[in-house]
Structure 1
Amino acid sequence: MVVDSLVYHPTITKVVKFLDTTPKREKTFRLLTYLSRFLGYYAYRKGYSKETIELWANLKANFTFIRKALRFLKPINHLQLASKAYDNKLLDPILQATTIIRNLAYAGYLSIDGVIFFKLLGIIDSKKYPNLPKYASRFWLVGLIAGLINSLRIIVSLRNYEKQEGDNEKETDVVAIKEKLYQAKRKLVWDLLDTFIALNSLNILHFTEGDIGFAGVITSLMGLVDLWKAT
């Protein structure tokens, strides 16, 4: 039957499995948030009706709210990752330090995000702590800078390793190094785009909502591609 073919189709099964975990749903809503931000600016620039612009603004606000709910208690995961990096005495000192700083900064960022979530719920007076988004962005920026240094360290280390080994490298080693280099460069670009978003949220840069939304769409897609491959 046609229904059975759809229900048991491998792609449909993978989509169901993909959306069955909180991190993947959260990343999906991240994409929708930044897409709404981009389309809202596009509608404004093209002179669409006020109702259309408000529609995208409301969608962005609602998707943001859902994301905050899905990320609640996520700081615990980053604290655990920071602890594991601290205990790993075999790790390169720079990689160890940047991994610890990155995860502690993300834990701080997400903890503040949790307080903002309580404000949106009305548990905390919405007028209290007006600078929380700014502090959250600062923590996020620190984590991103640590991530950039981490990626650069990996790239430099792998290139130095390639030079030292030269012709002695096995074919399997060459493939593995190229893959690690690619992933490190990809993560570098990813963090640079997110850094662009963080710098704008702190008013250090002053690009448009469309630029910020577009950058967020790209990094959201990068994250979803990784999660899709891992499903």
Structure 2
Amino acid sequence: MVADALIYHPTLSKLVRFWDSTPQREKTFRLLAYLSRFLSFYTYKKGYNADIVNMFKSLKNQFSFIRKGMRFFKPVNHLQTVAKTFDNKLMDPILQITTVVRNLGYAGYLTLDGIIFFKMLGVIDSKKWPNLATYASRFWLIGLVAGIINSLRIIYSLNNYESSVKDEKEQVDYKQIQNKLYSAKRKLIWDALDAFIALNTLDILHFTEGDIGLAGVLTSLMGLEDMWKAQP
């Protein structure tokens, strides 16, 4: 009976469905990669045995490698978003431009990341295009900056709209505005943390591996939270 209660528990069933999808698994491996990155730095600073430090470094590399294979086709999704956004003539011009730039940046980043994956597999000579990772991070940063501007625009527009709501009949809209405002602020923090990672990867900032790992853990958890809430 106890086993049946566990096997058929709604949360376990939802968890099975959750990890039965590639995006959720990819995001989970992202969490594990950044957690390993943080732990490799933490164990090193605490003076743990070198084998333990190297184990976490190896885990970070392995999880990152798996992720690259899982997101190989993702640039197409971003390019579709670009096309749909460009065709939307009713969209706020700033939101339209930043959405297009953001998705083009992500598409460029993921395309180069796919080439890096083939280099790691040995399909492409590993000595070719040695700066691909740097260019990939630049594309990622461009997408993130566009995302930050996009969120700021949404926050600005919603704040202006909120201040104009005075009629009690519009209270339903007011609640919706509050939810959208929260989502925009949350996305702003998310993109800012990822931009922090990209800036360190490009050696523009020089924080520790522990700081970068912790930022990655936080944004991974935010992504998993959104996916969990969207899971039926």
What is the TM-score with the length of structure 2 in the denominator?
A: 0.98
Amino acid at match of 2:45: R
What is aligned with 1:114? Answer: 114
Q: Is the 8 A contact 2:98 2:147 kept in 1?
A: yes
TM-aligned CA deviation for residue 180 of structure 1 = 0.3
- Aligned: 1:85 with 2:107: no
Could you tell me how far apart the structure 2 residues matched to 1:130 and 1:146 are?
A: 27
Offset at residue 163 of structure 1 (A): 1.9
> Structure 1: which 5+ runs fail to align?
none
Tell me, what secondary structure is at the counterpart of 2:166? helix
Seq. identity, %: 65
Partners of 1:171 and 1:162 lie apart in 2 by 10
Deviations 1:27-78 (A, max 9, x none): 0000000000000000000011110011000100000000001001110000
Number of residue pairs the alignment of both structures matches: 231
Partner of residue 6, structure 2:
6
Letter in 2 for 1:154: I
What stretches of structure 1 move > 4 A for 4+ residues in a row?
none
2:105 is aligned with what amino acid?
A: A
The answer to whether the Cα contact below 8 Å between 2:102 and 2:143 also exists between their aligned partners in 1 is: yes
The 5 A counterparts of 1:40-51 are 40-51=40-51
1:158 aligns with 2:158: yes
What amino acid is the match of 1:193? L
Shift of the alpha carbon at 1:84?
A: 0.5
Give the aligned residue type for 1:34. Answer: Y
- The answer as to 2:188 corresponding to 1:173 is no
| Structure 1 position 2, deviation (Å) | 2.1
- 1:129 maps to 129
Query: Could you tell me how far 1:85 is from its partner in structure 2?
Result: 0.3
Tell me the alpha carbon deviations over residues 139-173 of structure 1, each in whole angstroms, 9 at most, x when there is no partner: 00000000000000000001111122334562211
Give the distance between the partners of 2:163 and 2:174, measured in 1 at CA. 12
CA RMSD of superposed structures (Å)? 0.9
